[in-house]
Amino acid sequence: MRHIEWLKQIPPQHWAISHFTGRAISDMLLDNLCEVFNIKLIEGRDKPLITCLEYIREYMMKIIGNVIKVQNKCVGPLTPSTTKIMDKNLILAS
């Protein structure tokens, strides 16, 4: 929670200008997600349509379940990994 308080002390126009250009630097995240999804679908592509769709549904349910598990571990608005990054950056900025 102290991360939020620290950010609230700085007007958004200042940290947005200093750290973000407003443009996407790369679409690597999207490309990576698409590649991972396509690799997982290879296993279901050679099956009949209904079986393939069922495979996709089961895969997506597992992904959603994993996301919910991570969300349940969060005590604040940030994920545990983001909290660690913010802690490190907060120490470096001090």
The helix, strand and coil proportions of the chain, stated in percent and rounded to the nearest 5, come to 75, 0, 25
Q: Is residue 92 within 8 Å of 85, Cβ to Cβ?
A: no
Put simply, whether the predicted model's pTM sits higher than 0.85 gets the answer: no
Check residue 40 and give its pLDDT: 81
Check residue 71 and give its pLDDT: 82
| Residue ranges for the chain with pLDDT beneath 70 | 1, 15-31
For tokens 């907060």, the residue is 90
